[in-house]
Structure 1
Amino acid sequence: MKKIARKKHLEMRLQSIPTHPKPKVNLEQYTTPSIIASDLVWNAFSLGDIDGKTIFDLGCGTGIFTIASALMGASLAVGIDIDADSIDLAKEVSYNLNVDNVKFIKNDIADFNCSYDVNTVFQNPPFGSQRKADSGQDLKFVKKAVDLETEVLYSFHMASTEEFLINYYDENNLDITHIFRYDFPIPKIYDFHIKDNRDVRVIAIRAEL
């Protein structure tokens, strides 16, 4: 498979990945827009974190970071999600895009036992954009990435928690090297949503373990 040479081309490929087929409010499922996913993955590629590497996408949803990593030259990209509907769709999309260096696993990340040497982890976990969301879900994903002994972690969080996160990462011996900032669009997909769309300010932290 020919590696993509331009960020815009990567974004265009990712635009064909559909949103969650049956979004579940308890999992806080919001699909990462292609423009954000392509920007973060392109930066990760530029930093040497993708090409020839083993990539894990925790809470992969419909597989946008898994597939993007594969398109950018990962030796293997593995997506893990607890939601069977999302995993089934991710498999279908990767097949249609002729991406063969991927693997999708239905599993709760808390129960997943890894037999791979993981180089890079991407994760867009439930980060508390809902008022009634369980706090700290994103930190459970960070802890799992540490358990996987990954070399590099890219993790999304609410920008409002940045100061806390910097201290948390430092206390857990995670060296933050970059912080990427995005306006993350939240569409009206759940019954309790009032506005058609709203933007939530998020950060994606790159940390080395």
Structure 2
Amino acid sequence: MPITEFALFRLKEQTPSAATKASFRDVIKEQSAWSKYPVHFLHQLEDSGLVYLLGGWASVAEHFGEWITSEPNQRLLAELKDAINIEWLFHLDIDPSSHSIPLNAPVLGISRYFVEASKKAEFERIFNAGAPRLGDYTAPYSYAGSWRVDKEGEDEEFVLFTGWNKVEDHFGFAQSDAFKEFGKIKGAIKGAEIKHVHLEKWE
């Protein structure tokens, strides 16, 4: 089953140069041509030095076994070596052809939930019960979430993407009556990280 690549880069430049922006546009062009899935960059609002990449692959093996060592990827990494550090990279059980991640929203919330393996079923039960209320609140934008495929250690990680008009709307959900059911996931997680991004085209 196809999977979604999710990566985080730290920019070394306070303001990306024209050459760096051109290299990012080349990444979009080259990787999407290879994988046959769109590639998107997302700029974090809380820290403008952080940029996420979303891409798609037929499998983890295709990504790591073919693309990572390929000439186009090695060339692009060489172009960007003085501009970025790769903070992390992993994959999510989201079919990239489903277009379920709400990239059409002005602001995209990224919530990473860290879950003990023994509480995975409990988390899923609570999430599935509360998700309809979440969907009502994010409308007209959608949401999409799934488990990390290549996890580290025994713990699980669930990543949730939510679409919003502005960051304040996301925080408003946490204060709303609609959050009461969804908020029960706090009892099933070890911790969480919530950030916000916007789509970056490097123009």
* Pairwise TM-score range, normalised by the shorter structure: 0.3 to 0.5
Quick check: which has more Rg, 1 or 2?
2
Higher RCO, 1 or 2 (CA under 8 Å, sep at least 6)?
A: 2
TM-score by structure 2 length?
A: 0.36
Larger relative strand fraction: 2
TM-score by structure 1 length?
A: 0.36
